[in-house]
Amino acid sequence: MVQILLVDDESYVTESLAATIPWETLGIEKVHQAASALAAIDVLEAYDIDILVTDIRMPGMTGLELIVEVNERWPHIRSLLLTGYADFEYAKKALQLKAFDYILKPVDDEEFFKCVSAAMDSLKEEWEAFDKVHQLQYSRRNDYGVLRTHLMHDLLLGRDLTVQKIKDKMSEYEIKLRTEHPASMLLIQLGKQFSDMDYHSVSLIEYAIGNIAEEVFAPDFHVWHCKAPHDCLIVLIEGNWHLFPERTVDEQNHFLRAAIETFRKNVSNYLKGEIYVTLTNWFHFPDELPKLYQTAIRSLYWNQQEETNPLLFIEEQTEQSHNSVKSLEGLYTHPTLTHLLESRQWEEAEAKVSRVFGKMEEAGYTREHLYELFISVTSAFMYTAHKQGRFITQMDQVGFDPLHAQKLVHSFPHLKEWIFSMMNKLKAEWSASEQSAKSYVVKQVQELIAQDKGQELSVKTIADQVYLHPVYLSKIYKAETGEGLGDYIIRMRMERALYLLKYSNKKIYEITTELGYQNPQYFSKMFKKHYGMTPHEFRDQ
C-alpha cells in the first residue's frame, strides 16, 4: 500500500489537496496530513510513508530541516517541496537535499498530479530494482554451496567433464583443490545419536561437521566437503604441498590420520554424537574419483551397519559387485529425481524410477541395493516435501517408521509399490504448500512483534531481523495478510496500550514512552482513532 504525507502549517492547503487530487488514480491508497514538521515525524514513525509533500516555511522545524531528517531516517521516501516563493536559493537548497521535485504555491492540481505521478514511477522503479537485488543476493548466498555440491556429484557419478572444464568450475566456485594432484576421500556417516533428529537438525549437524573439518584440516590440507548422493557426507582432502614441500607421503599420511582422529573427537565433543569415517588411500584426482567412491560407499555401508569400527581405512580397491552397483547409476544421472520432483515433472520422475527398477531386475540386486534405492529416493521425497514446508511423515508415516522401513528394503515389490504411492501423495500435496515460504515469513514477523509487544519496532528493524529489505517485506506481508505491516504494528501497540491502561497503574505518559511514542498527544490521538475515546476517558470509565 502506497501512502503519502502532506505537511503544511496552513491546514487548508493539505485538506484541499487531500480532497481534490484523484489519489486512487495515482495508486495511492492512504493520505496522511500533518500541520507541523514534528507532527509529521510522528506520522512517519507510525506509518510506512512512501511520498512526502511538505511546505518549506513552517514554525519551528522548517520543511528543509524535515527533509534532512527524512533523508537520514527514511532514505527511500520521495520528498516534494511546496513554497510560495519562486526563490532560486530555495530551489538550490532543495536540489542539494535531493528533493524529488519543487512545487510553487498556489498549487495547480494538474501540475501537482504530474509531480506525484513521477514520484510514483520512481518508487516503482526502485521497488523493481530492490526485488532484483534481493533475489540476486539470496541466490548468491546459496549458489556457491549448491554449485559445489552439483559439481561434486557430477564427479562422483562419473559425468563426462574435461579436465579443463573441471578446473574452470573449481576456480569459479573458489574450490582450493587442484586437479591432477594426489587426493584422499573421507566418507562420513552420522551415528545413531543423530538418528532421531528431524531434517532441519540433521542439516545443521552436517553443516557443523563441514565447518569442523575445515578448521581441523587447515592449514596442512585443502578441503572440499558437501553432501554425497548416497546420504552421507564427503570430504575431499589434498595436501598443501605448497606450504610443506619437504613432507614425504608417509609423513603426510601421519598428519592426515592424526587430523582425522582430532576431527572425530571434536565432532563427539561439540555435537555429542559419533560419526563413522571411511578413508581412502591417495588417488589421482579427479580421474579415479568415481570408481573409488563406489568402493568407499560399499565399505561405509557395511561398516556403519556393523558399528564395529568408527574409522575404516580402505587399502585396496575391488571390483566386487561392480556390475550390480551400476544398475543404480540411472538414478543419479541428469536430470536427477530431485530435480524432476521439484520441477513437477511427475511422469518423467515415474519413468526414471521405473527404468531403475527394470535395470535391477535384469542385473540382479541385493539388500544393499534396495537400501541404497530407498535412501536415495526418500532423500528426494524429503527434500521436495520440506522445501514446501511439509514434514514427509504428514503424508506417510509407515514408510518413514524405522520398523516398517526395514520391511520395505527387504522386499522388491513392496519397495516399488511404496515409492510410486509416495509420488502420487507428493503430487497431491504440492499445490497446497506453494505459499508456505511466504507464510513462514509472516509468522516470523508476527512472533517478533508479539515478543517485543510493539516496543521500539519499525518495519526496518523487523526487516533486518528476518534478513529482507523493508520494501520487499512490506509487499510480502500485505499480499499474505491484506493488512499493511505498519498498520499491524500500530494495532498491536494499541492493544498493548489497552491492556496497560486497564491492568496497570502506570501513568499515561509512561505508557506513551513504553510503547515507543515521543508525543503523548499523538498517542492519545491514535488511541482515540482506534477505540473512539482518549486514554483518560478509557481509564475513567
pLDDT digits (tens, 9 = 90+) for 438-457: 777 888 888 888 776 545 67
Percentage, residues of the chain above pLDDT 70: 86
pLDDT digits (tens, 9 = 90+) for 4-59: 999 999 899 999 999 999 999 999 999 999 999 999 999 999 999 999 999 888 88
Q: What is the pLDDT of residue 143?
A: 73
**Grid cell at residue 386:** 520440506
d(CA 525, CA 533): 9
Q: What is the pLDDT of residue 437?
A: 57
For the cut 50, the answer to whether the pLDDT of residue 305 exceeds it is: no
For the cut 60, the answer to whether the pLDDT of residue 3 exceeds it is: yes
For the cut 80, the answer to whether the pLDDT of residue 537 exceeds it is: yes
d(CA 79, CA 53): 6
For the cut 90, the answer to whether the pLDDT of residue 83 exceeds it is: no
d(CA 226, CA 4): 50
Residue 119 CB neighbours (<10 A): 24
Q: Are 35 and 9 in contact (CB under 8 A)?
A: yes
Give the count of alpha carbons within 13 A of 353, CB side only.
27
d(CA 233, CA 266): 16
pLDDT digits (tens, 9 = 90+) for 66-78: 988 998 899 888 9
d(CA 537, CA 524): 10
Helix (H, G, I), strand (E, B) or coil at 389: coil
Domain-wise residue ranges, the chain: 2-129, 171-319, 326-433, 438-540
Distances (CA, A) of 29 to 79, 263, 464, 483: 18, 59, 26, 12
* Fold that domain 438-540 belongs to in CATH: Arc Repressor Mutant, subunit A (1.10.10)
**Grid cell at residue 46:** 507510525
pLDDT digits (tens, 9 = 90+) for 198-222: 878 988 999 999 999 999 998 889 9
- Per-residue b or e along 413-449, where b marks 16 or more CB atoms closer than 10 Å to that residue's CB: eebbebbeebbebbeebbeebeeeeeeebbeebbeeb
Q: Are 1 and 484 in contact (CB under 8 A)?
A: yes
Q: What is the pLDDT of residue 399?
A: 60
Instruction: Quote the strand ranges of 217-324, DSSP E.
Output: 221-227, 233-239, 275-280, 283-285, 311-314
Q: What is the pLDDT of residue 534?
A: 92
For the cut 70, the answer to whether the pLDDT of residue 224 exceeds it is: yes
Q: What is the pLDDT of residue 323?
A: 43
| Listed residue (267, 205, 212) closest to 232, CA to CA | 205
Domain 2-129 has CATH 3.40.50.720: no
For range 187-194, the mean pLDDT: 86
Q: What is the pLDDT of residue 324?
A: 40
The 8-class DSSP code of residue 336 comes to: P
d(CA 243, CA 161): 30
The label of the residue with cell 556393523 reads: 306
CA 226 to the chain's CA centroid:
19
Domain 171-319 has CATH 3.30.9.10: no
For range 426-447, the mean pLDDT: 74
Q: What is the pLDDT of residue 295?
A: 84
Q: What is the pLDDT of residue 328?
A: 76
| Listed residue (70, 104, 107) closest to 88, CA to CA | 104
For range 87-94, the mean pLDDT: 62
For range 241-261, the mean pLDDT: 82
Q: Are 322 and 346 in contact (CB under 8 A)?
A: no
Q: What are phi and psi of 370, to 5 degrees?
A: -65, -40
Instruction: Quote the strand ranges of 195-331, DSSP E.
Output: 221-227, 233-239, 275-280, 283-285, 311-314
Q: What is the pLDDT of residue 329?
A: 79
pLDDT digits (tens, 9 = 90+) for 119-178: 898 888 888 888 777 776 666 656 788 889 999 999 998 888 898 999 999 998 889 898
For the cut 60, the answer to whether the pLDDT of residue 379 exceeds it is: yes
Q: Are 427 and 346 in contact (CB under 8 A)?
A: yes
The label of the residue with cell 575404516 reads: 312
For the cut 90, the answer to whether the pLDDT of residue 64 exceeds it is: no
* Average confidence score pLDDT of the chain: 83
d(CA 407, CA 370): 11
Q: What are phi and psi of 58, to 5 degrees?
A: -140, 150
What's the farthest any 2 CA atoms get from each other in the chain?
92
Give the count of alpha carbons within 13 A of 446, CB side only.
15
The label of the residue with cell 574435461 reads: 162
Q: What is the pLDDT of residue 206?
A: 93
